[in-house]
Structure 1
């Protein structure tokens, strides 16, 4: 574990586990979490001889709680800084939710020469917000309400999300895990409120359509069709069709937080893809 400082002076925390010469998988976390959200996957792959890397983006987890730069371009540049610092080559980049947008923007902005494959899990591309060109998107009022709830009572908001739609715990047949809920809350509360407030705009209003079209490496898209946070038909289904070499794995009845709720299935799919 360590830190790398970006060109604009932000200290980015990262984890780097496994053999230096191992095949690299780089994990990108969702909003408003941290690299800790990937621990299940990182332990699985490091025990299979892979080198696994994950970072806390600016304002999240243990990285600097700066007030500015909470947009996808800065997020992508932070990834590039970690990649350069660690000398990573030919990595498979795996992003969940906002982290999926970060992966797409990183590849489009910094090129494919250091990337072998990409995986988008419950990811926000191509565009979440409803616009004239994206009429099936989520109304802006929903994201405005997210910001209002965060500003009013961050601690309560960060309990309600995992206790409800994030893991599908609001569904009648669900069996909520308080440990999972509080681990989500813990990660969210580690970060900065300003970063998370601005991050809602970043993940909801960034249009990744052209980024997706530019990607030629193999891309695996994994999405649950009962995702209440990033709707399946508006995101995963479209992303898989926009990249040049995409494969879509649909998890029937699965929620947004599938790296946790469907960890064994996700790990198996990632292992098969990285070895393909």
Structure 2
């Protein structure tokens, strides 16, 4: 297995497949998952001739179960360390959910030439939590309930999320894939409870407005309008408006985990954007 070690001694696990001179695509996973959540997309783009890279965020998957640094500034610094170690140039960064926030935070700070394009899928920017400045956000009590469920019984919580709202399996007539549910649980339970607990604050309370306005590369914003985790109206359209070169693509009836439930749709649109 491949790891880099960051300045604070954290080991970050990563996958790096394909020809090293091919266009790199870097995938950033959601909470509380791992690089494995991108298996479908990584294989698809690998077979299309791209170099595909994905890492386990600190505290997640096979990376160090960190006590500290579980916030967006350090997440972005970890990505910078990885892209430096691999000496990536002209990369496309694709982030889902919390990973979309990580992409925005990193791309806004990336060294010149490192990033060519970015994609935000079901992503948390501009900001999730409700406030006077963001009246359409989710009340802080929603995220408090996540923290409580994690502390009380993380294993059960990590079954309830994918069984219900994450993939839209709680919708009438939904075709439930038990393997997908168990794979979500497997990935979640690999990570550290402390890091996952901290990350709830990172993905819900970080304001990405300045990041979005600072990004100067083309960005595709993809979001299902039946997303029950990151509600559509207070996320994707607002992000697209803040971006200098943003394109919004809305998917009728698709859930938060659309890359897993509808990979053919997501992959085709990702490929078109990357080639365009």
Residue of structure 2 equivalent to 1:203: 203
Residue of structure 2 equivalent to 1:102: 102
In 1, Cα distance between the equivalents of 2:175 and 2:128? 28
For residue 54 of structure 1, give the secondary structure of its aligned residue in structure 2: strand
Residue of structure 1 equivalent to 2:159: 159
In 2, Cα distance between the equivalents of 1:268 and 1:40? 12
1:252-274 Cα offsets, whole Å, 9 max, x none, are 00100011011011110111011
The aligned length equals 276
TM-score of the superposed pair, with normalisation by structure 2: 0.99
In 1, Cα distance between the equivalents of 2:32 and 2:66? 15
* Deviates most, 92-101 or 109-118: 109-118
Residue of structure 1 equivalent to 2:16: 16
Please state how far the C-alpha of 1:113 moved relative to its aligned partner.
2.5
Please state how far the C-alpha of 1:175 moved relative to its aligned partner.
1.2
8 Å CA contact retained: 1:112, 1:217: no
State yes or no: 1:128 paired with 2:128.
Answer: yes
Please state how far the C-alpha of 1:111 moved relative to its aligned partner.
4.2
In 2, Cα distance between the equivalents of 1:136 and 1:38? 30
1:166-185 matches, within 5 Å, as: 166-185=166-185
Residue of structure 2 equivalent to 1:93: 93
In 1, Cα distance between the equivalents of 2:262 and 2:177? 14
In 2, Cα distance between the equivalents of 1:112 and 1:135? 36
Please state how far the C-alpha of 1:110 moved relative to its aligned partner.
2.7
TM-score of the superposed pair, with normalisation by structure 1: 0.99
Q: Which runs of structure 1 show a deviation greater than 6 angstroms over 4 or more consecutive aligned residues?
A: none
Structure 2 unaligned segments of length 5 or more: list them. Answer: none
Residue of structure 1 equivalent to 2:248: 248
Residue of structure 2 equivalent to 1:271: 271
In 2, Cα distance between the equivalents of 1:244 and 1:24? 23
Please state how far the C-alpha of 1:107 moved relative to its aligned partner.
1.2
8 Å CA contact retained: 1:28, 1:93: yes
For residue 266 of structure 1, give the secondary structure of its aligned residue in structure 2: helix
In 2, Cα distance between the equivalents of 1:111 and 1:217? 13
In 1, Cα distance between the equivalents of 2:209 and 2:115? 19
